[in-house]
Structure 1
Amino acid sequence: MTVEKLITDHIDIWSSALQTRSTAGRGSNGKIDLYGIKKLRELILELAVRGKLVPQDPNDEPASELLKRIAAEKAELVKQGKIKKQKPLPEISEGEKPFELPEGWEWVRLGFITNYGECDKAEPTDADADTWIVELEDIEKSTSRLLNRVTFSERPFKSSKNKFNKNDVLYGKLRPYLDKVLVADDSGVCTTEIIPIKVYGNILPGYLRLLLKSPRFIAYANESTHGMNLPRLGTDKAINAVVELTAISEQLRIVNKVDELMSLCDQLEQQSLTSLEAHQQLVETLLAMLTDSQNAEELAENWARISQHFDTLFTTEASIDVLKQTILQLAVMGKLVPQDPNDEPASELLKRIEQEKAQLVKEGKIKKQKPLPLINDDEKPYELPEGWETVYMQDISELITDGTHQTPKYTESGRPFVSAQCVKPFKFMPENCRFVSEDDYQQYIKNRKPELNDILLSRVGAGIGESAVIDSDLEFAIYVSTGLIKPMKRNINSHYLVLWLNSPIGREFSSKYTYGKGVSQGNLNLSLIRSFLVSLPPRLEQERIVSRVNELFSICDILKSRLQSAQQTQLHLADALTDAALN
């Protein structure tokens, strides 16, 4: 089977094998990784350097003759004083040969066919305004495309660089950039983390590039790196790397075929990305119709329209996440469950809360809160159903505070000490907490003791605005990175309030009231949390909303679980197809 046939016959496997990349930091919205196409690119490179990509020509000169010419060429260069005599490289043992090569191919050490590690230095005084300056960031990972071409006038440098000439192979020796390999189409200078490599014996630079980008060489380079902070491939390890060599004529056929097949992969990748983007746009547009519905009748019609295509719409993790956000938004707008005219209106609820607060102040259990200005109609985010009220967060909470501002002294064990990393949407995760001593704990909990059914709100970092109900009797102290909201629990369902905080409108308030964005991690202003404008339903409707959201989220989780299972199957198929092609 030709590689073209391998691609076209199994196009569905290559394009449908997707993986959601986990993002650095908090949150769950990873980007889609086109795993199948990535595996296909790796397969093409692996077949290329194993001599399985193009047929061999019996008329080609064997690689052994090429090696003789390289030895003669290097001897002459030593004689002319252009290079130093190289210390003999060790013989390649049978154990170093991972597979059998085709007739006419040879295993060879990289240091024999290249000048790896030998290059001239360039100082700022050696460059002129038009000198090409290459940094690792200019080369795209995986594809090795040149992303930016920058000159000295645009990006002057002050420390030494490596010089390179046209047709040198530029190799990024720094992990995780070991697959950044570029054939220079002009001369210039590059960061010392990029090694310019010249080849001997008229070996094609494009063929050396394929050798360095092959999965086997990348695996070797990764295993051979040293250094903790910025691990890099050492020169000795690189020189002694064992690589595959074939005749110049076959090198040319291989490079041309790889370029042709990689172009097919580019097209397949672009089609997949375009399809994914269009799908996500369609999902978001259709779900927006739900939140834009003017009344219950229109909402029912729009939902019926969407539910007919449920199986084709919610086929990615991103689309299911958007569905969840839509459910939350409908919930806090009063559109998720029908209103019951027999419910006591929220206005009566607020009167009881006010009386309860007054009694708590009288008993010295809470401090009297400074009243906030009246909410006018222009400030209300959207129109609410009959019986609902727009209220300040302060109006329905007995206390809104944060954790200790003291720098903690952590201990191996002791009292649990919770920070923002223990809070994700709807999830309180005390298992992620650290510990402090008993003495520090007693200092930290003064006036801010978290209790069952209180609410924790993340105030710093990437997860600002994420909140969860404390669902255990665990006694713990909290850090300044975490906000603490104590709702008036007799009349307010904590789970409804967390539902509101995690909804798009709640997260919008958190974002709007975050200071320092772009300068540091940002910090959600504590005093402004008190002025969040919360949509408050009657007490009984709060219960119905929480119950309905839990029910729908459970369906979403089942959908996501099935999707992940199907994705794993597709990944295994792509792996199996790759193994079958190689073996």
Structure 2
Amino acid sequence: MSGLPKGWQFSLLGEIGSVQSGVGFPNEYQGSTSGTYPVYKVGDVSRGVTQNNGKLQLANNYVSSEIAELLKGHVFESGSTLFAKIGEALKLNRRGFVITPGLADNNVMGYKSAPGINDHFIYYFLLTQDFAEYSRSTTVPSIRKGDIEGIRIALPPLAEQTRIAQKLDELLAQVDTLKARIDAIPALLKRFRQSVLAAAVSGRLTEEWRAQNCPTPPTARSPNKYSLSTEELKKFADLHSRPQGWECASAAEVCSSVRDGTHDTPAYHLSGIPLVTSKNIGSGFVDTKEAKLISIEDHLEISKRSLVEHGDVLFSMIGTVGNCCVVREQDSEFSIKNVGLFKKNESVILPRFLEFWLNSQVMWSWLDKNLKGSSQKFASLGTLRALPVFLPSLQEQTEIVRRVEQLFAFADQLEAKVASAKSRIDHLTQSILAKAFRGDLVPQDPNDEPASVLLERIKTQRAAAPKARRGRKASA
């Protein structure tokens, strides 16, 4: 036919296989972890896709043959393809290929090819279909048996179906391997950044530089009422091997002050000044666009106690404790609520160095033990003021900041390349499938029996077959 490779022919899925919905699965029959048949639910299909390369072998629920008979449940044979038929899961377009025959609940639908059609070929074809497009509902998306039966497919000869399915098995396995490797890189980069921070705050990153440059010792700080005791600071310094020439002091000693924002909730307005809370502080940035707005009068009142300026360091005190960032020059004016505020004191500690320290595992080894609260942990203002800080000279802080930013920039570039590669790999699967189903993936063989002959044989066999009784299909 026009537009198709030689030997191919268009057909409808309903002409070369059967569609069946799952069965109602009452609560009293659920919960068994063993039995003759698994009962596949939408969650089981999703786990098969995300954890078992699309293969359906296990389920969270099983039933005996007797209960399957009682439920009048259809047994989906090996080679069937199962998928969600209703709800948001339909939009995920996940397809599970049945390895272990079983039932399905009534949120699942399945397709099984007729004899003479390659099941894997149909499974891969169904991966190309967006079932959400067939939904007729504007509220809860759902598909019907007839929607699937009416899907048109370009069908190659059976021998070519087999070659295509085998080639797809090979190529998509390689794609999955690539995906797994790419997906592992963000975790590696996270560990890399933590390793860089660990080297920075322990002095290892600038050990050689320190030996060659003989930096001026840091300015000595006088303890104040917010500081840890000298004994406590010494114990922390000894425990974490403070580098020679570095001081160990409390945050309240090295910053101009350590404060927090308002604890009250001002009235919110449609326009005004952003009120930043812990949830608006990401890792390395403050998001004022998502913050609620307060009046200029409330902002000025809050600022009397907690004025936020460029170069200050913010720290989320509750919820996701520990996100921190330096307030940048491009950040718009805002107030803070339940957010730690480390006021800049650049003659003693650089804002970026303080940010690195606050993100380090050394700092967290102390902070974790000093968080307050039971159900929801939080860092009190007193805890932030007492927080121990390793303090190198300003010259060394400058060198540390330069090196860390250089290494982080390298990680950022690699992360961007990974994201781009991931996008290309995600499109690669659909590109390979598209190539397969237009006849460009494997060579045609003129000796293959044409699909038209195969379709005629299936039509004859189905016409001669006795009509299936309503209810459960007899198990094999």
TM (normalized to structure 1)? Answer: 0.58
Q: Secondary structure at the match of 1:186?
A: coil
Q: Are 2:227 and 1:349 equivalent residues in the alignment?
A: no
- The residue aligned with 2:462 is none
- The residue aligned with 2:95 is 180
Q: Distance in 1 between matches of 2:227 and 2:318?
A: 26
Structure 2 alignment gaps of length 5 or more? 65-69, 441-476
Aligned with residue 240 of structure 2, among 382, 387, 390: 382
CA contact (8 A) 1:181 1:213 kept: no
Cα shift readout 1:477-497 (whole Å, capped 9, x = no counterpart): 1233x3222244442222211
Q: Distance in 2 between matches of 1:207 and 1:552?
A: 47
Q: Distance in 2 between matches of 1:232 and 1:550?
A: 48
In the TM superposition, what is the alpha-carbon distance from 1:537 to its structure 2 partner?
A: 0.9
Q: 1:323 to 1:186 in 2, by over 3 A?
A: closer
In the TM superposition, what is the alpha-carbon distance from 1:445 to its structure 2 partner?
A: 4.4
Cα shift readout 1:432-465 (whole Å, capped 9, x = no counterpart): 434223354356546223222211113455x642
Q: Secondary structure at the match of 1:541?
A: helix
- The residue aligned with 1:455 is 313
In the TM superposition, what is the alpha-carbon distance from 1:411 to its structure 2 partner?
A: 3.2
- The residue aligned with 1:532 is 387
Q: Secondary structure at the match of 2:205?
A: coil
- The residue aligned with 1:411 is 269
- The residue aligned with 2:60 is 150
- The residue aligned with 1:213 is 126
Q: Secondary structure at the match of 1:106?
A: strand
Q: Secondary structure at the match of 1:163?
A: coil
- The residue aligned with 1:235 is 144
- The residue aligned with 1:134 is 40
Q: Match for 2:126: what amino acid? A: K
RMSD, aligned α-carbons:
4.6
Cα shift readout 1:321-344 (whole Å, capped 9, x = no counterpart): 544433322221123332377644
Q: Distance in 2 between matches of 1:153 and 1:404?
A: 58
Q: Secondary structure at the match of 2:307?
A: coil
Q: Match for 1:452: what amino acid? A: H
- The residue aligned with 1:194 is 108
Q: Secondary structure at the match of 1:425?
A: coil
Cα shift readout 1:391-448 (whole Å, capped 9, x = no counterpart): 2223323543443444565433211222335433333443443422335435654622
Q: Distance in 2 between matches of 1:192 and 1:526?
A: 54
Q: Are 2:358 and 1:501 equivalent residues in the alignment?
A: yes
Q: Distance in 1 between matches of 2:125 and 2:110?
A: 13
Q: Match for 2:109: what amino acid? A: I
Q: Secondary structure at the match of 1:133?
A: strand
- The residue aligned with 2:460 is none
Q: Match for 1:121: what amino acid? A: G
CA contact (8 A) 1:454 1:494 kept: yes
Q: Distance in 2 between matches of 1:114 and 1:261?
A: 25
Q: Secondary structure at the match of 1:369?
A: coil
CA contact (8 A) 1:413 1:435 kept: yes
Q: Match for 1:105: what amino acid? A: Q
Q: Distance in 2 between matches of 1:458 and 1:406?
A: 16
Higher relative contact order (CA 8 A, sep 6+): 2
Q: Secondary structure at the match of 2:401?
A: helix
Q: 1:439 to 1:203 in 2, by over 3 A?
A: farther
Q: Distance in 2 between matches of 1:196 and 1:560?
A: 40
CA contact (8 A) 1:224 1:237 kept: no
CA contact (8 A) 2:82 2:110 kept: yes
Q: 1:211 to 1:235 in 2, by over 3 A?
A: farther
Q: Distance in 2 between matches of 1:236 and 1:574?
A: 27
In the TM superposition, what is the alpha-carbon distance from 1:232 to its structure 2 partner?
A: 3.5
Q: Match for 1:106: what amino acid? A: F
CA contact (8 A) 2:175 2:429 kept: no
Q: Secondary structure at the match of 1:411?
A: coil
Q: Secondary structure at the match of 2:109?
A: strand
CA contact (8 A) 1:179 1:213 kept: no
Q: Distance in 1 between matches of 2:109 and 2:432?
A: 35
In the TM superposition, what is the alpha-carbon distance from 1:556 to its structure 2 partner?
A: 4.6
Cα shift readout 1:277-318 (whole Å, capped 9, x = no counterpart): 9xx8xxxxxxxxxxxxxxxxxxxxxxxxxxxxxxxxxxx666
Cα shift readout 1:338-388 (whole Å, capped 9, x = no counterpart): 237764423x4313xx5xx7xxxxxxxxxx537557326543342223321
Q: 1:164 to 1:485 in 2, by over 3 A?
A: farther
- The residue aligned with 1:105 is 9
Q: Match for 2:384: what amino acid? A: I
Structure 1 alignment gaps of length 5 or more? 1-50, 52-96, 155-159, 281-315, 358-367
Q: Distance in 2 between matches of 1:513 and 1:109?
A: 63
Q: Match for 1:543: what amino acid? A: T
Q: Match for 2:293: what amino acid? A: F
CA contact (8 A) 2:281 2:287 kept: yes
Q: Distance in 1 between matches of 2:100 and 2:278?
A: 50
Q: Secondary structure at the match of 1:447?
A: helix
TM (normalized to structure 2)? Answer: 0.68
Cα shift readout 1:198-251 (whole Å, capped 9, x = no counterpart): 66x657582685266331x1x3x133447789x53322772464232759xx55
Q: Secondary structure at the match of 1:195?
A: strand
User: What does 1:184-583 align with in structure 2 at a 5 Å threshold?
Assistant: 185-188=100-103, 190-197=104-111, 202=115, 206=119, 209-210=122-123, 213-215=126-128, 217=129, 219=130, 221-225=131-135, 232-235=141-144, 238-239=147-148, 241-244=150-153, 246=155, 250-251=157-158, 253=159, 256-257=162-163, 260-261=166-167, 263-265=169-171, 268=174, 272=178, 321-337=190-206, 338-339=209-210, 343-346=215-218, 348-351=219-222, 354=223, 369=226, 372=229, 374-375=231-232, 377-380=234-237, 381-407=239-265, 410-442=268-300, 444-445=302-303, 447-460=305-318, 464-472=321-329, 474-480=332-338, 482-509=339-366, 523-524=378-379, 526-557=381-412, 582=438
Q: 1:211 to 1:479 in 2, by over 3 A?
A: same
Q: Are 2:24 and 1:114 equivalent residues in the alignment?
A: no
In the TM superposition, what is the alpha-carbon distance from 1:566 to its structure 2 partner?
A: 7.4
Aligned residue pairs total 417
